[in-house]
Amino acid sequence: MKPNTLNKFITATRANWQGLTSTNILNCKTQLEELARTPSSEPWLAQLHASKQSSTELYRDPEHGFILLAHIEPKHTYRPPHNHGAGWVLYAVQHGAMDISTYSQVTDCNGHTQLVSRGATTLSSGQCHVYLPKDIHDTKSTTDYVLMFRLTSTDIQTEKREGRLIQFDLSR
């Protein structure tokens, strides 16, 4: 394996993996921020920028189950509020910027439940945010395109299939 930033990320993340702990979250965040600062001249990253594929699996760990994906989203792509079920996720932007709003599910004294926004932040190149199990958030790309890395603790498609990942409808 030729040394590059991606291989360095994989090696460091595997070596330090501890599951859902504060230490592991901080280690993963640090590693993912470093990965997001990778120069676009590294061949594997240049290929991602050139192909503009919406989703590319970069690594799936056979022992720990975490998955690293690269996503490219054109300007104004909106992903409605959702959580990642029992999984947790880190988003890091390598190119461009995206707005991320977070929400809380609130039930009033009459039993009516709604999502209430906690506000939005802009995630720019080199920045990373962490979303723990059941954290609700949405994303919207705000620049020509966004290349982001998403590190998930588990297969999110399994979370969706098994009903733990929830997508919310703000129109209700």
Specify the pTM. Answer: 0.92
Cα 141 from Cα 77, distance rounded (Å)? 5
> Is 45 contained in some domain?
yes
In order of 3, 4, 54, 67, 141, the CA distances from 146 in angstroms are: 25, 22, 10, 19, 6
Q: Note the pLDDT of residue 172.
A: 58
pLDDT tier, 168 (very low <50, low <70, confident <90, very high otherwise): confident
Q: Retrieve residue 92's tokens.
A: 């890091």
Counting the structural domains of the chain, the total is: 1
Range of the domain at 64: 5-161
Question: What would the mean pLDDT of 55-82 be, rounded to a whole number?
Answer: 97
Instruction: Answer whether 151's CB lies under 8 Å from 84's CB.
Output: no
Lowest mean pLDDT among 64-73, 112-121, 137-146: 112-121
In order of 45, 94, 152, 155, 165, the CA distances from 158 in angstroms are: 27, 26, 12, 5, 9
> Is 169 contained in some domain?
no
> Is 170 contained in some domain?
no
**What average pLDDT is seen over the chain?**
94
* pLDDT at residue 1 is higher than 50: no
pLDDT in tens, 84-129: 989 999 999 999 999 999 999 999 999 998 899 999 999 999 999 9
Q: Note the pLDDT of residue 70.
A: 98
Instruction: Answer whether 26's CB lies under 8 Å from 116's CB.
Output: no
> Is 51 contained in some domain?
yes
* pLDDT at residue 159 is higher than 50: yes
pLDDT tier, 130 (very low <50, low <70, confident <90, very high otherwise): very high
> Is 89 contained in some domain?
yes
The percent of residues in the chain predicted with pLDDT above 70, rounded, is: 98
Ramachandran angles phi, psi of 71, nearest 5°: -125, 135
| Domain containing residue 71: CATH number | 2.60.120.10
> Is 15 contained in some domain?
yes
